[in-house]
C-alpha cells in the first residue's frame, strides 16, 4: 500500500500553519458566523433575544428604502471605481513609462504618505476646501463663477472616495504597468501601431490583471466607506454603511444592521470573485 505524501500527517508543517488558521477562525469566520446568526435574532424592549426568525430579513429586504440605498451604494461604488481607474491610469502610465526608476520609487513613496494620516482628518480638510466659503469657491468667484455647492452632494462623496482610494489605485496600476516587457510595446510600434493605439491594444491587455485588482480594491473600499458619504455627501439618502449606523442607533436594531452587513458581504464576495475570474481568465 502506498501513502500519498501530501496526506501524511506532518506535525512540523502543521505547527507553522496553525497560527494563521487559529487567527482566521477566531477573528474572521467566528464573528462572521455570529453575524449571520444574529440576523435571525429578535429585539424586544431594546434587548436582543436569541431566536430563529426571518422577521429581520423580511422587514429589511421587503422595504423600498433598503433597495434604494443598496443600489445607490452600488452605483456610487461603481462610479468611484470608474473614476479612480480613469484618473489613476495616466498617472500610473507616466510613472511606469515616462520617468526613471528612481523617480518612480520616490513617487510610490509619496503615494504611501497619505496613509500615514487618518483618512478622517484628510476628509475634514476637504470639508473646509469644498465649503461654500472655501478656497475653491473663492478662486471660482475670482473669475466670476459660483459659488457652487459641493458639500452634501454626490460630488462631495466622490471627492471623499478618491481621497481614500486614488493613492492605492495609482500604486497598484503602476506596479502592474511597470512590469510589462518593453519589447512588446516596441513590437507593437514596429508592426505599425501608433502610440495611443498601443495603450489600448497592447498595454491595457497586458496589464489587465493588475488593473482589475486595483479596481476591485477601489470598489471594496468605496462600497464599505462610511466617512465620505456621511461627512462630504451629507448622508442623505443614506448609503449602506450609514444605514448600518442609523439602524444600530435607533432602537438597538443590531439584527437588522446585521442583515445589511450580510448583504454587503455577499455583494462584495460576488463582485470580487467575478472580477478575479475575469482578471485571470485565459484564452483556451
Partner 1 sequence: MSDPLVVFENVVKRFGEFVAVEKMNLDIQQGEFLALMGPSGCGKTTTLRMLAGLEQPSEGEIRLAGQVMNDVKPHERDTPLVWQSLALFPFLNARENVEFGLKMRGLDAASRKAKALNWLDRLGLADFAERPVDQLSGGQRQRVALARALVTEPQILLLDEPLSALDAHLVIRMQGELTKLQRELGITFVYVTHSQSEAFAMADRVVIMGDGVIAQTGAAREIYRAPANRFVAEFVGRNNILAGKVTSQVKTAATIETPAGKFKVNIPKARSFSRGDRLSFAISADLVHLSDKNPRGDNVVPCTLISEEFVGSVITLFLESADGTEFKAQIQERELADIDLKSGSTLYLSWPAASAHVLED
Q: Residue 30 or 205: which CB sits closer to partner 1?
A: 205
Pairwise CA distance, residues 230 & 156, whole Å: 10
Question: What does the alpha-carbon distance between residue 60 and residue 43 come to, in Å, rounded to a whole number?
Answer: 14
The residue within the footprint of partner 1, chosen from 6, 44, 195, 236 (CB under 8 A), is: 195
User: Closest approach of Cβ 216 to partner 1, in Å?
Assistant: 20
Nearer to partner 1, 7 or 283 (CB): 283
Q: Which residues, 253 to 282, sit near partner 1 by CB under 8 A? A: 282
Part of the chain binding partner 1 (CB under 8 A), chosen from 32-40, 91-99, 102-110, 197-205: 197-205
Place of cell 511597470: 178
Please state the closest distance from residue 107 (CB atom) to partner 1, in A: 23
Site string for partner 1, 152-191 (x = CB under 8 A): -----------------------------x-xx-xxxxxx
Minimum Å gap between C-beta 187 and partner 1 is 4
* Closer residue to partner 1 in complex, CB, 185/260: 185
Instruction: Write out 87-134 in H/E/C secondary structure.
Output: HHHHHHHHHHHHCCHHHHHHHHHHHHHHHHCCHHHHHHHHHHHHCCCC
Q: Least distance in Å: CB of 197 to partner 1? A: 7
In whole angstroms, how far apart are CA 210 and each of 69, 78, 168, 198, 261?
30, 18, 12, 18, 28
Report the nearest approach of partner 1 to the CB of residue 254 (Å).
48
List the x/- string, 207-226, binding to partner 1 by CB under 8 A: -x------------------
Q: What long-range pairs does 126-133 form, CB within 8 A, spacing at least 24?
A: 126/156, 126/159, 126/160, 126/163, 126/232, 127/151, 127/231, 127/232, 130/156, 130/159, 130/232
Considering only residues 193, 245, 262, 265, which one is a binding residue for partner 1 as defined by CB under 8 A?
193
Residue number, 190 or 250, with CB nearest to partner 1: 190
Q: In a 10 Å sphere around its CB, with 0-12 CB exposed, 13-18 middle and 19+ buried, how is residue 255 labelled?
A: buried
Decide if residue 197 touches partner 1 (CB under 8 A). Answer: yes
Separation CA 154–CA 12 (nearest Å): 54
List the one residue from 27, 194, 266, 269 that touches partner 1 (CB under 8 A). Answer: 194
* φ, ψ (nearest 5 deg) of residue 47: -125, 145
Enumerate binding residues for partner 1 (CB under 8 A). Answer: 181, 183-184, 186-195, 197, 202, 205-206, 208, 282-284
Amino acid at each position: 500500500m502506498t501513502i500519498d505524501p501530501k496526506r501524511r500527517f506532518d506535525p512540523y508543517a502543521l505547527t507553522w500553519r496553525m497560527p494563521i488558521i487559529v487567527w482566521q477562525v477566531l477573528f474572521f469566520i467566528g464573528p462572521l458566523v455570529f453575524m449571520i446568526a444574529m440576523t435571525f435574532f429578535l429585539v424586544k424592549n431594546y434587548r436582543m433575544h436569541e431566536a430563529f426568525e426571518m422577521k429581520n430579513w423580511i422587514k429589511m429586504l421587503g422595504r423600498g428604502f433598503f433597495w434604494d440605498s443598496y443600489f445607490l451604494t452600488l452605483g456610487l461604488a461603481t462610479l468611484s471605481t470608474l473614476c479612480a481607474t480613469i484618473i489613476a491610469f495616466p498617472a500610473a502610465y507616466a510613472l511606469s513609462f515616462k520617468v526613471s526608476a528612481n523617480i518612480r520609487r520616490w513617487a510610490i513613496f509619496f503615494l504611501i504618505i497619505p496613509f500615514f494620516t487618518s483618512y478622517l482628518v484628510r476628509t475634514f480638510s476637504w470639508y473646509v476646501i469644498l465649503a461654500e466659503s472655501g478656497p475653491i469657491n473663492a478662486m471660482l468667484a475670482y473669475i466670476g463663477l459660483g459659488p457652487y455647492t459641493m458639500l452634501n452632494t454626490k460630488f462631495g462623496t466622490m471627492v471623499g472616495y478618491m481621497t481614500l482610494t486614488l493613492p492605492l489605485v495609482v500604486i497598484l496600476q503602476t506596479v502592474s504597468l511597470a512590469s510589462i516587457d518593453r519589447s512588446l510595446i516596441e513590437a507593437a510600434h514596429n508592426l505599425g501601431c501608433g502610440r495611443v493605439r498601443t495603450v489600448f491594444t497592447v498595454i491595457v491587455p497586458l496589464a489587465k490583471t493588475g488593473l482589475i485588482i486595483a479596481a476591485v480594491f477601489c470598489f471594496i473600499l468605496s462600497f464599505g466607506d462610511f466617512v465620505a458619504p456621511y461627512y462630504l455627501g451629507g448622508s442623505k439618502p443614506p448609503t449602506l454603511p450609514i444605514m448600518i449606523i442609523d439602524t444600530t442607533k435607533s432602537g438597538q436594531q443590531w439584527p437588522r444592521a446585521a442583515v445589511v452587513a450580510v448583504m454587503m458581504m455577499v455583494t462584495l464576495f460576488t463582485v470580487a470573485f467575478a472580477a478575479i475570474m475575469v482578471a485571470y481568465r485565459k484564452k483556451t
